[in-house]
Each structure stands twice: as structure tokens, then as C-alpha cells.
Structure 1
Amino acid sequence: MTLFAMRGWNGLMAVLRWSSIVVLAFMMLTIFYDTLMRYTFSAPTSWSLEINSFLLVYMAVVSAAEAQRHDAHIRITFFRNKLPIRFQALLGIAAGLLGVLFCGILVWRGGLMAFKAWEYGERVSSAFGTPMVYPYALIPVGFGALALQFLIDTLSTCHQLARPTIQRDNANDENPEP
């Protein structure tokens, strides 16, 4: 990818990362407030559970691309690590393409859900009455970012597979080159 595109992507990831931090801090404050009101004053809030449920969805889907970017998702690598490096790379490419396909489907379906919620004016049936277009819109945004990260990872793996770096152990090399 071009340097300009990667800078833009890094900037978007920074915005999503910091917004997730702010959302987490807000969730902590509102849950503390609701707990205080509920158990100290016997006056629970009517909005805390609803808002924090939607913010939890935000944390899950928006942070997924950042987790993928830092290779922080949980996976079992015992068998994969026993395979040759080239086959591991091919498996990585296949997984990345499947990830892009899966995320693409979720972007499409999530976008349809958000559009329908906006079109019909759907709201949560609670006192707060949150418009459902907002939580539904998180799905295409989060999975769109995850799809782009899968694509970046896949292209990076393809590039590494096409131009493998030679790693040598100079301590075991008879005639090291300067």
C-alpha cells in the first residue's frame, strides 16, 4: 500500500482506538453512577443499561480491527507452527481472504439493517427510546474496518511470500558476508 494510504489508515485506527478508550471510561462512570444510585439511593437510572449495552457492542466491533492489527485475537497455533513457513503463509492468506469475505457480508447485512431502522424509524421500546439506526450502524463501521485490516494483512503476507527475507545465523555461518 502507498505511504499516504497507510498514514490515513493509521490515523483512522488511532481515532477508533481513542474513541474506544473514551467509551470505556464513559461506561465505567455511568455504571458506577447507576450502581451508586441503585444501592445507595434506591433510584436506579432508566438509561444506563440500555446505553452501556450499545456501547459494549461498540467496544466489541470497533476494537476488532485494532486487535487484528496487533495480532491480538485468540487462536490455537500448535499445529500451524509445525508446518513449513510457506504453508503457514498460504494458510494466513486463506484466512485473511475468508475474513474479508465474512466481514464483507456483515458490512452488507449490517448496512441493510441500519438503513431499514432509519427508514422505519425503529426505536428501542424503553423510556430512553434510542433510535436503532445508531447501534445497527456500528456493525458495518466495525466490520468494514476489520475487513480492511484483514485485506492489509493478506496483502502484507502476499508481499512477504513473494519476496522472502533471508534470515541467517551469522554465528553458524562459515563465511559471513559484510
Structure 2
Amino acid sequence: MPNNPTTCGFEKLRSLLSGGLLILATLALLISLGTMLFESLSRVFASKSFFWAEELVRFAIIAMAFLSLAVAGVQGRHIRAEFFVSLFSRRLQLAAWAIAGVAGAVFSGVLAWSGWGQTTHLMRTMMRSESSLELPMWIIAGFIPVGAALLTIFYVSRLVGLIRRRKDPFLPPEAGEPLL
């Protein structure tokens, strides 16, 4: 089906989205590392600490983690207990993958829903961060429902893949082998 224009368009969109999320997550990591380096150098050479640095690092790490959840799944880099599953029969492997997919989709869906509620509450109350940065807290909290929603989409798409193709849906597309 590689010649199907819908499939090719979807793959391009998925690749673009994954690449964009990976760039944003990398930028958040670099902001975190740069801020930590700046803070440590200012403590060593100027005996000065900045109250906002710890907060910025914390927020950057939250953004990095939630932006990279779905990308890790698409690239087949989520932690898996494949040693035990590989000992199962093919039918039990299918069941284990289905259970893992449903559990992951439910967990990330609940996280997205509750994160959305928290984000909208922070928007209504216009809460700001406690440091001199005074960042709007809804922006930071917004990374949680966005990342969790993308992770939910990942799990649901893998469950659909499991049903349609009957192969391990949590491996990268080029690595999965047909089960039956």
C-alpha cells in the first residue's frame, strides 16, 4: 500500500509531527541544561543564585518529557517487558499486546482529560509561577494534556494496527513481524 496517496500523506504528517515534537523537546532539554550550567557557573564564580533558574529547569523538563512521549512510542522506544511476552504462544502475545494497548490508552486518556481540566482551571484563574519570571501556569500545564492526548492517539493507532495486521504493534513499523 505504499502507493496509496492517503497512506503517504498520513506518513508525511506523522513524520512532520514527530520531527516537530522532537525539535521542541530537544529545545526544552537545551533550555534546561543551559539554565543549569548558567546557575552553577554563577554560584561558583559570582556566589550568586537565581530564584527563577530552578523553576525554569523544572518547567523545561516537564515540557520535554510530555512532548516526547508519543515520539518515543512511534519510534519503538517505550520500555517493554518483551522477555516474558516472547515466551508466550503467538495468541497469548496478541492478548498481552492488546492488554498493554488498552491499559496505555486508558491511562494516557485519563491523564489527558485531567490535565485539560487543570489547564483550563489555570487559564480561568490566571495563575502565574512563583518566581520573578511569572510565567502563566496554563502554558506549562498545557504540555500535560497535549503530550497525553498524543500518547492516547499512539496507543489507539497501535491497537488498530494489532487488529488489522495481527503483528506486534509496539515495534517500529519496519521491525514488526506477522504473527499468523
- Are 1:76 and 2:81 an aligned pair? yes
Where do 1:87-102 residues align within 5 Å?
87-102=92-107
- Describe the shift of the 1:75–1:161 C-alpha distance in structure 2 as closer, same or farther (beyond 3 A): closer
Paired residue for 2:14?
A: 9
Q: Is contact 1:96-1:151 (8 Å) kept?
A: yes
Paired residue for 1:28?
A: 33
- Are 1:42 and 2:47 an aligned pair? yes
Identity %: 24
Residues 79-138 of structure 1, C-alpha deviation per residue, up to 9 Å, x if partnerless?
211111232122212211221121111111111100000101112222222221011101
- RMSD of Structure 2 on Structure 1 (CA): 2.1
Partner SS, residue 111 of structure 2: helix
- Are 1:65 and 2:70 an aligned pair? yes
Partner SS, residue 74 of structure 1: coil
**In 2, Cα distance between the equivalents of 1:166 and 1:108?**
34
Paired residue for 2:160?
A: 155
Partner SS, residue 125 of structure 1: coil
TM-score normalized with structure 1 length = 0.84
* Amino acid paired to 1:158: I
Tell me which moved more, 134-143 or 82-91. 82-91
Q: Is contact 2:105-2:156 (8 Å) kept?
A: yes
Structure number, greater radius of gyration: 1
* Amino acid paired to 2:81: I
Tell me which moved more, 90-99 or 12-21. 90-99
Where do 1:93-172 residues align within 5 Å?
93-161=98-166, 165=178
Long gaps (5+) in structure 1: 168-178
Paired residue for 2:173?
A: none
Long gaps (5+) in structure 2: 1-5, 168-176
TM-score normalized with structure 2 length = 0.83
* Amino acid paired to 2:77: A
**In 1, Cα distance between the equivalents of 2:156 and 2:72?**
14
